[in-house]
Structure 1
Amino acid sequence: MDTLATSINQFALELSKKLAESAQGKNIFFSSWSISTSLAMVYLGTKGTTAAQMGQVLQFNRDQGVKSSPESGKKRKMEFNSSNSEEIHSDFHTLISEILKPNDDYLLKTANAIYGEKTYPFHNKYLEDMKTYFGAEPQSVNFVEASDQIRKEINSWVERQTEGKIQNLLPDDSVDSTTRMILVNALYFKGIWEHQFLVQNTTEKPFRINETTSKPVQMMFMKKKLQIFHIEKPQAVGLQLYYKSRDLSLLILLPEDINGLVQLEKDITYEKLNEWTSADMMELYEVQLHLPKFKLEDSYDLKSTLSSMGMSDAFSQSKADFSGMSSARNLFLSNVFHKAFVEINEQGTEAAAGTGSEIESRIRVPSIEFNANHPFLFFIRHNKTNSILFYGRLCSP
């Protein structure tokens, strides 16, 4: 399971770099965990080169801890086998069960589904495996005659699954009579802080988008003992904010330079992020924290992004091999739609003061001001599994 979490996190960083290429200076927010999970559902039905390409993009075939090179990439392609695939899906089952465990302290709602044109029936074994590993049931639908009705039904289902937070996942004209198979995935998260921000401390402050432009934002404030980590190259400072019960954390990476985000994104790798955010690197500081309130909702049509990352065959009518899913020829993935929503505000409840925090409060610790008043990266992490659930870049609240 650790290996799978590493693969998902590596994929998160690779995908973020790809999305950043076409979104300079814009906010980015997506759930790498949700996208990986839904693509793995498709991967279960692929064979041959289609499977090898997907495995490589999703980092499933990667030897953990080994630096990637073109030669090792070729070797990994050759080494792909079905037992590896079964192990991956079994690990997904364990990971999904752990992350989606019912919890009173936060709300995590996911909606992952595959919809295939009904003239391309799914194999029974594939349907059984999907239920076993993912708790999901691929749907055979009538894209040929009723594509818009199907689109509306899918949108309603996603909306119900995410408590009404994610609406209209599939925009108008996103499916039509030529659609063969689409993948939809959405994840909604609402968490309560371990230490809440007091509403009366929120004031209007400038957020510096760049050296010449700023905009007024609602800036929250708290003074608390929090975990800080320092990044030397490129210069940045990081902060960990726990959600109640400490199962999840918000990790913020704030470049020291107002224009330092581009360099930070360029330099960041999964290995570096893992090192920066490890428990050894965290130090307790008395922090004066300024953090903007913000809401982000982002939609992605991931076909071109995933193709350019190396899994083009899955989207090609002449090359896609989904023989593990259906015996019908010419089945291919028409599109992958993703939408994620997050809201960061003051809400939360003060954690009950246990002995630990009483002792901690007597320890003298260095103080620091952490002023998130210019662009930064943030992650929401499931701590027990070390899985990045969400990746975000805030350029303008």
Structure 2
Amino acid sequence: MLLSHTQRDALLKFSLNIYNNLQTRHRQRENFVCSPFSIACALATFASGACNVTAKQIFAALNLKASKSRIQDQFSNLLTVLSVYAPEVTFHVANRIYSDEKFAIHISYRALLDASYRTRIKSVAFVCGHESIRRNANAWVSKQTGSNIPAILPSGSVDTNTALIHLSAICFRGSWEWPFDSVQTTRQMFRLNDSKVVPGNMMYQYNSFKMGYSDELCASALEMPYRGQMMSMVILLPDDVQGLRDLEQSLTPANLSKLLASMEMVDNVQLISSQVQDRAQRGSAGDTRGPRSQGLVHAGPGRPLRSIRDRCAKRL
């Protein structure tokens, strides 16, 4: 098992909180992509260097109640297992922090982030080299994501006032366990809502897949395994054409877990062929639910991240 029930429930609850926050902001957009796991890892790295109230608030946002050392071990074990969990797909997680050189980072904190979160800290001088740092950061992300994200930081996003940049890259690449035959793809009408129908490429195959249904959510779930069947995609489909918003607002860790547990094998699958591309969004999607202190990414009032610094490294 990748996660304990406690870890799974905590990450699932955090993921739904992030999703609900984002879908409210993106209501007018067609699609968006997010990785709650990346956000959770980033917050955990800061929590590992935070003290007192700030650390408690970050871990509370992550719904994690174990000790700091226990949480660090959990993330370390999870990242280690994930790297080899599904050998027939590519799943790569990498993190990097650019910290202004005026903040002396203790060697023990560097070692902790490397060991527990696979995160490297690079000390830089934003005052005199902010543009080259931006280009270096973009090059790193591009390399980690197979050139799929060539410029996460646009021109002007990094300046002399920048104190810290945290980058998280996840690269996933996999083929379906049972690929769709392009010969079976046909042009059919696809209903977007009650009033709009558009033509679309409909993929089809006759095979056995796991499906489930929730009376509470009025929605179905379909699991599409990737090669090796160690990882999969789960698609949720509301009964009502206009039911997406109700489904989003009704999702909870409990009813989603119940739906996933109810899945059983069925035959015949028909899906709309689609491609989702989302521009990088900067800023914290979890700021309405996360730490309220002013020291999450800089040492503000109360210096809540002081344990990262040399003089208080004994707190690590």
Question: TM-score normalised to the size of structure 1?
Answer: 0.72
Structure 2 residue aligned with 1:346:
none
Total equivalences in the alignment? 305
Q: 1:321 to 1:284 in 2, by over 3 A?
A: same
1:310–1:134: structure 2 CA closer, same or farther, 3 Å change rule?
closer
Q: SS of 1:299's equivalent?
A: coil
Find 1:309's aligned residue among 282, 289, 312: 289
Task: Return the alpha-carbon distance in structure 1 between the equivalents of residues 130 and 289 of structure 2.
Answer: 29
Could you tell me how far apart the structure 2 residues matched to 1:297 and 1:188 are?
Answer: 15
2, 9, 13: which one pairs with 1:10?
13
Q: 2:23 aligns with which of 20, 23, 45?
A: 20
What amino acid is aligned across from residue 135 of structure 2 in structure 1? K
Distance 1:121 1:190, change over 3 A: same
Aligned to 1:337: none
2:174 maps to 1:191: yes
Mean CA deviation greater in 26-35 or 89-98? 26-35
Looking at structure 1, the residues matched to 125 and 144 of structure 2 have their Cα atoms a distance apart, in angstroms, of 22
Deviation at 1:315, TM superposition (A): 4.8
Percentage identity across paired residues of the two chains: 25
Q: Which residue in the other structure is 1:345 paired with?
A: none
Contact in 2 for aligned 1:120/1:328 (Cα 8 Å)? no
* Structure 1 residues 310 and 103, CA gap change in structure 2 (3 angstroms): closer
- Within the candidate set 63, 68, 74, 1:91 is matched to 74
Q: How does 1:317-336 map to 2 (within 5 A)?
A: 317-319=300-302, 321-327=304-310
For 1:151 and 1:22, how far apart are their aligned partners in 2? 27
Q: Secondary structure at the match of 2:151?
A: coil
Deviation track 1:223-247 (CA, whole Å, cap 9, x = no partner) reads: 2121110111231111111111111
In the alignment, the residues of structure 2 paired with residue 131 and residue 310 of structure 1 have an alpha-carbon distance, to the nearest angstrom, of 24
Partner residue, 1:38 = 42
Alpha-carbon shift at residue 35 of structure 1 (Å): 1.7
Spell out, residue by residue over 1:206-237, the C-alpha distance to the aligned partner (whole angstroms, 9 max, x if none).
Answer: 33222222333322111212111011123111
1:134-149, aligned counterparts within 5 Å? 134-149=117-132
Seen in structure 2, the aligned counterparts of structure 1 residues 179 and 319 have a Cα distance that, compared at 3 Å, is farther
Amino acid at match of 2:75: F
Hey, what does 1:54 align to over in structure 2? 58
Quickly say closer, same or farther: Cα 1:254–1:119, change in 2 above 3 A.
same
Distance in 2, Cα, partners of 1:185 & 1:162:
10
Map 1:77-156 to 2 at 5 A: 84-101=67-84, 103-156=86-139
Question: How has the CA–CA distance of structure 1 residues 128 and 178 changed in structure 2, closer, same or farther, with 3 Å as cutoff?
Answer: same
The amino acid across from 1:297 in the alignment is: D
Deviations 1:192-215 (A, max 9, x none): 111110011122333322222233
> Are the aligned partners of 1:230 and 1:276 in contact in 2 as well (CA < 8 Å)?
yes
Q: Does residue 267 of structure 2 align to residue 286 of structure 1? A: yes
Structure 2 counterpart of 1:295? 276
Residues 117 and 181, structure 1, Cα contact 8 Å, conserved in 2 = yes
Higher relative contact order (CA 8 A, sep 6+): 1
Question: Shift of the alpha carbon at 1:18?
Answer: 0.6
Determine if contact 1:239/1:252 at 8 Å carries over to the other structure. yes
Shift of 1:128: 1.4
Measure, in 2, the Cα distance between the counterparts of 1:115 and 1:137: 9
* 1:307–1:315 CA contact under 8 A, matched in 2: no
Partner SS state of residue 277, structure 2 = strand
Considering fraction of residues, name the structure with more strand.
1
| SS of match in other structure, 2:134 | helix
- The within-5 A match list for 1:327-366 is 327=310
Contact 2:95 2:118 in 1 (8 A): no
Structure 2 residue identity aligned to 1:311? P
Name the CA shift for 1:319/1:148 in 2 (closer, same or farther; >3 Å). farther
Q: Distance in 2 between matches of 1:306 and 1:328?
A: 30
CA contact (8 A) 2:212 2:221 kept: yes
Partner of 1:159: 142
Give ranges in structure 2 of 5+ residues lacking alignment: none
Q: Confirm or deny: 8 A CA contact 1:41 1:130 kept in the other structure.
A: yes
Computed over aligned residues only, the root mean square deviation of the Cα atoms, in angstroms, reads 2.0
* Secondary structure of residue in 1 paired with 2:178: coil
The answer on whether the counterparts of 2:86 and 2:230 sit within 8 Å (CA) in structure 1 is no
Letter of the 1:18 counterpart: N
Looking at structure 2, the residues matched to 128 and 290 of structure 1 have their Cα atoms a distance apart, in angstroms, of 46
In the alignment, does 2:262 pair up with 1:258? no
Q: Distance in 2 between matches of 1:89 and 1:250?
A: 27
Amino acid at match of 1:306: G
* Aligned partner of 1:229 among 206, 209, 212: 212
